[in-house]
Structure 1
Amino acid sequence: MTPTRRQWLHWALGATASAAASAAAGQAPAGLVWRERALLGFGTTLWLRAAHADAAHVDHALDEAVALLRHLERQMSLFDAASALCRLNRDGVLHHPDPALVEVLQLARRVSARSRGAFDVSVQPLWAAWQRAHAQGRKPTEVELAGARALVDWRAVVVSPQALRLGRPGMALTLNGIAQGYAAERARALLRGHGITAALLDTGEWAPIGQAPDSQPWQLGLASPRDSARLLATLRADGRAMAVSSDAQLRFGADPGDDHDHHILDPRSGRSPPHLSAVVVAARSAALADALTKVMFMGTPAQALAQAGRWGVDVIAVDKAGRLHASGGWG
C-alpha cells in the first residue's frame, strides 16, 4: 500500500503557538530543553518531539527511539522489499521472527477475532486487486474480487515465536493498519523508560507524554477529509494515543472527488465501506487505536459509537456529509 501522508490529524498550534516558538529555540518556559527528530519511515514522515532538563539526555533518548523505529520498520514495512514482512509474503513462512513482529500479529489476531473479521491483516490481496485494476483505469471485476477474497482469512495465519506461516498459496499480509500505532506505542514506552515526561510522537498515529511546551495539554486538530486546510475539531490529548483513518488518503476512482472506492477495504466484502469519511480513535494503546479505526470505519456512525463503548475507547466518526459523531469521553 502506498497511501499519502496522514494529514487529517495534526498538532493544532492554537494556544501553544507562542510556547512552541520559544521551545523551537531550545529552552522551553518550564526549564525543559526540547529536541526533535524527523525521519522517513513506514512510507511516511515520522516526527518525534521530547523534552528534558538535560539536553544530552533527551538527545540520547530520541536517538534510541529513532533506532527502535528503524528496527520496527525492518520488520513490518511493505515499503522495504528486504523487510521481514515482505519475506514472509514472498516465501509463505518466516522462521525465528522478531518478537515485535510476533507481538503485533498476536494483537492483530485478537482484534480480528473480537471484530469478527472487520480487521484483518491478510487483506493485502484485495488491496493488490484494486491497485492493479486502478492502474488499468478500471475497477476490479467480481471474479477478481472473489479470487482475492478467497485469500483473506486471518485464521489461516499461523503465529508463534518459532515461525510465522501463511496457510494458503498467494496469501499476503499488510501491517499498514496497525504497525504505525505499534511503533508509536513502543517509542513512547522507550522515552518514558528514559525518564522523559513531556513528548509528542507522530508516526502517522499520535502518542503524547505529559504536556506541551506551554504546560498545557497537547492539542491535535482534525482536518476535513474534503479540505485538509479546514479544521473540523480541536482535540485535547488526555494521555491516550490517537489514531486516524480517512477515505481521502488514497482513492481508486478516476475522479479525485469520488469517495466511494478508496484504500480502506472491508475484508469481508472486498469493497470500501460506504458510510464514513474519517475516524479518530483515542485509546491507551496506540496500536489498538490504529487497528480500531478500521473496525469503526466498517459501519455507520451509530455503529461506530456503539463499538467505542464495547472496546472501552473513544471515537469521532465523520460521515460522508462532513458531520461529526463523537462518543462522550473527549472532554
Structure 2
Amino acid sequence: MDRGVKRRRVICIIAAAAGLPLFGFGGGAEAAASPITWTGQALGAPGKLILSLEDRTEAARLIDRVVAEVSRLERVFSLYRPDSALSELNRTGAIAAPPADLVRLLEASRDAWEATNGAFDPTVQPLWTLYARHFSAADADPAAPPKVEMMRALSLVGLDKLKFNRDRVVFTRPGMALTLNGIAQGYITDRIVDLLKDAGVANSLVSMGETRAIGTQPDGRPWGVGLATNEDAGTPDSILRLVNRAVATSSQDGFHFGESDRFGHILDPLSGGTPRLHRRVSVVAPNATTADAYSTAFSLMDTPAIRVACDGRADLAVDLISPSGAHARFGWTG
C-alpha cells in the first residue's frame, strides 16, 4: 500500500460511529451478531468494510475479492509503487497497451478538466515535486520556490499536453508527470461498488478514500455521512443523508509544505499557487470519481464560480466551509 504523503481523511462515517454496519444485505436483513471487519488502505487513505452476514465463509470470500481489487488498482494508479503503470509512465514518458482502468480514469480526468476550465488537472505533479524539493532544503526560502523554477514547472503542466488512447499514453514534453491522487480514490470506491453490486449487495456504504452509498441502510433510512474539516474533529460540522450517491471532500489542511500553513497540497495548475479559498469543500455526485475530481477542482475556485458550475450540473451538490467558518450549501435537492 502507499506510504507517501496523501490528503488527510476529512470524512467521518456517522453510521459506523453509531454502531451501524457499513454493509447490509437484502434490505430488511438483520445484522449478524459479530460482524466481520476489514480495515486497510486504498492509495494511502483509510478503507473499511464491516460485513454482517450469517454466511461467514461468503463474507470472508467477498472481503478477499475487495482487497485483491484494491491491490490490483494500486498497481495501476500508485505514485509510490515503482511497479505501477503510473510510475512507469512518469519514469519513461510513455507506455504502450495501458491498463483499461488508466485510460478510463484519464477520460474522466479530461471531462473534469474541460468542465472546470482547467482547475482540475492531474498533470500538476511537476509542481508537487518543485514544492517538495524546495521546502525539504535546509536553507529553503519560506516565501516560495524561485519564480524561474515555478515557471519551468508550469510549462510542464496542462492536460492538453498528454495524449492517450487505448493503445498508448504519452507525454508530449520531457519532464512531465502525472498524479491521480485527486480522482483515483473515487475511482477505486466506484470499482468496489461495482464489485459488491455484482455480488448481490443491495444496501451498503463503501469507504475507500471517498464514500459512496448503495441504496439505503437495511432498515430503509438514508446513510448518514458526517463532514469535518479534519479527521481529529470530535463532532462533524455537517451531516449528509445519502441514497445511491457519493461524497468526496478536499481541504488544504490535509498537508502543508514548509513550516507555515501557507502552502497547502492542492496545487493550482494555472498559477502554481496553493490558494486557501475554503476550509473544506465537499461534493455530492452520482459516483465517487466525479465527486473526487470536483472536490479537488472546487478547492481552487471561488464560491461564485462553484455556484456557476453547479448551476450547469443538476447532479452535483456542494457543502463548504469558508476560511471564516461560514457554512454554505447549494445545488442541494435533498
TM-score normalized by the length of structure 2: 0.89
Give the counterpart letter for 2:211 in structure 1. Answer: W
CA RMSD of aligned residues (A): 2.6
Q: 3-state DSSP class of the match of 1:94? A: strand
Give unmatched runs, 5+ long, in structure 2. Answer: none
Aligned to 1:290: 292
Q: 1:37 to 1:227 in 2, by over 3 A?
A: closer
Aligned with residue 246 of structure 2, among 234, 237, 241: 241
Give unmatched runs, 5+ long, in structure 1. Answer: none
Q: CA deviation at 1:107?
A: 1.1
1:143-222 correspondence runs (5 A): 143-212=148-217, 215-222=220-227
Aligned to 1:135: 136
Q: 1:5 to 1:129 in 2, by over 3 A?
A: closer
Aligned to 1:274: 276
For 1:42 and 1:269, locate their aligned partners in 2 and report how far apart those are by CA, in whole Å: 27
Q: 3-state DSSP class of the match of 2:18? A: helix
- Give % identity: 32
Aligned with residue 318 of structure 1, among 313, 317, 321: 321
Deviations 1:119-158 (A, max 9, x none): 1111100111111111124321111110100000101111
1:85-164 correspondence runs (5 A): 85-136=86-137, 137-138=140-141, 139-164=144-169
Give the counterpart letter for 1:178 in structure 2. Answer: I
For 2:12 and 2:323, locate their aligned partners in 1 and report how far apart those are by CA, in whole Å: 21
Q: CA deviation at 1:223?
A: 1.1
CA contact (8 A) 2:264 2:274 kept: yes
Give the counterpart letter for 1:316 in structure 2. Answer: D
Runs of 4+ in structure 1 over 6 Å off: none
Aligned to 2:332: 329
Q: Which moved more, 1:68-77 or 1:114-123?
A: 114-123
Q: 1:6 to 1:48 in 2, by over 3 A?
A: farther
For 2:86 and 2:120, locate their aligned partners in 1 and report how far apart those are by CA, in whole Å: 18
For 1:330 and 1:237, locate their aligned partners in 2 and report how far apart those are by CA, in whole Å: 11
Aligned to 1:223: 228
Q: 1:20 to 1:200 in 2, by over 3 A?
A: closer
Q: 1:20 to 1:190 in 2, by over 3 A?
A: closer
CA contact (8 A) 1:75 1:98 kept: yes
Aligned to 1:71: 72
For 1:229 and 1:252, locate their aligned partners in 2 and report how far apart those are by CA, in whole Å: 26
CA contact (8 A) 1:7 1:223 kept: no
Q: CA deviation at 1:51?
A: 4.5
Q: 3-state DSSP class of the match of 1:220? A: strand
1:2-81 correspondence runs (5 A): 2-4=4-6, 6-13=8-15, 17-20=18-21, 30-33=29-32, 34-52=35-53, 54-81=55-82
For 2:281 and 2:328, locate their aligned partners in 1 and report how far apart those are by CA, in whole Å: 10
For 1:19 and 1:269, locate their aligned partners in 2 and report how far apart those are by CA, in whole Å: 45
For 2:28 and 2:18, locate their aligned partners in 1 and report how far apart those are by CA, in whole Å: 13
For 1:309 and 1:55, locate their aligned partners in 2 and report how far apart those are by CA, in whole Å: 47
For 1:116 and 1:302, locate their aligned partners in 2 and report how far apart those are by CA, in whole Å: 14
TM-score normalized by the length of structure 1: 0.90
For 1:244 and 1:91, locate their aligned partners in 2 and report how far apart those are by CA, in whole Å: 32
Q: 1:4 to 1:95 in 2, by over 3 A?
A: closer
Q: CA deviation at 1:7?
A: 2.8
CA contact (8 A) 1:68 1:187 kept: yes
* Count of aligned residue pairs for this structure pair: 324
For 2:317 and 2:306, locate their aligned partners in 1 and report how far apart those are by CA, in whole Å: 10
